[in-house]
Amino acid sequence: MGRKLSFDQLCRLRRLRKARRLWKKQPLFAYLYMSMEYPGYSYQEFLDDLRRRSKPIKRKVKNDMFRYGRYARIRCLINKYERTGNPDDALAAMRLVRVLRKPYRVLIRIGNEYIEYRFEAFIPIDDIEGLCTSLQKCLTETQADEIVNAFRKAHRGI
């Protein structure tokens, strides 16, 4: 099975587990109960039993912003600003950051009427821009609906 532990090691391990369990249940009286059960048990040993033996695992903080469709464009604009120093790129990136998690609103004009479509924020911005250019060529509302339905079907599950 595993490594065989000596009787001393087993007793120390049981004492350690019991100290931690009592500390979780009754932190004020844990030392009192432990000192009653184990004669000669000092407060320093109690604190040592409560101490973590291994370092806590540092977990990498997950950045969920990359899931959003506008994030790639923001990174591109920031890199462009760092290379050129053009403040317009930084301002454009700031504008996109403000609307990063908001859904896309696509507004098209057919004749004298305006039609608005909403899309999830997870769709890449390049795909939304391609949709906008294809919707500009539409002459009727049914054509626009067909294009939008095909687009939604292609981007389902993003």
The pLDDT value given to residue 35: 93
Phi and psi at residue 148, in whole multiples of 5°?
-65, -40
Q: Is residue 33 part of a domain?
A: yes
* pLDDT tens column, 91-139: 999 999 999 889 999 999 988 899 999 999 989 999 999 999 999 988 8
Q: Are residues 89 and 119 located together in one domain of the fold?
A: no
* Statement: residue 25 has pLDDT above 90: yes
Q: Is residue 139 part of a domain?
A: yes
pLDDT above 70 coverage of the chain, percent:
97
More confident residue, 98 or 158: 98
Q: State if pTM tops 0.85.
A: no
Q: Is residue 43 part of a domain?
A: yes
Phi and psi at residue 40, in whole multiples of 5°?
80, 10
d(CA 48, CA 19): 10
Q: Which domain holds residue 139?
A: 103-158
Q: Is residue 58 part of a domain?
A: no
User: For the chain, where are the alpha helices, taking DSSP H only?
Assistant: 7-25, 30-37, 43-50, 71-84, 87-98, 125-136, 141-154
Identify the H or E element spanning 114: strand 113-119
Report how far apart, in Å, the C-alpha atoms of 17 and of each of 4, 11, 44, 109 are. 18, 10, 16, 71
Identify the H or E element spanning 105: strand 104-110
Q: Are residues 111 and 91 located together in one domain of the fold?
A: no
The pLDDT value given to residue 119: 93
Q: Is residue 94 part of a domain?
A: yes
d(CA 144, CA 141): 5
Q: Are 104 and 128 in contact (CB under 8 A)?
A: yes
The pLDDT value given to residue 3: 79
The tally of domains found in the chain comes to 3
Q: Are residues 108 and 158 located together in one domain of the fold?
A: yes
Q: Are residues 114 and 157 located together in one domain of the fold?
A: yes
Q: Is residue 21 part of a domain?
A: yes
The pLDDT value given to residue 55: 83
Q: Are residues 95 and 142 located together in one domain of the fold?
A: no
The pLDDT value given to residue 145: 93
The pLDDT value given to residue 90: 93
Q: Is residue 38 part of a domain?
A: yes
* Statement: residue 4 has pLDDT above 90: no
Q: Are residues 94 and 112 located together in one domain of the fold?
A: no
Structure tokens at 51: 């101490």
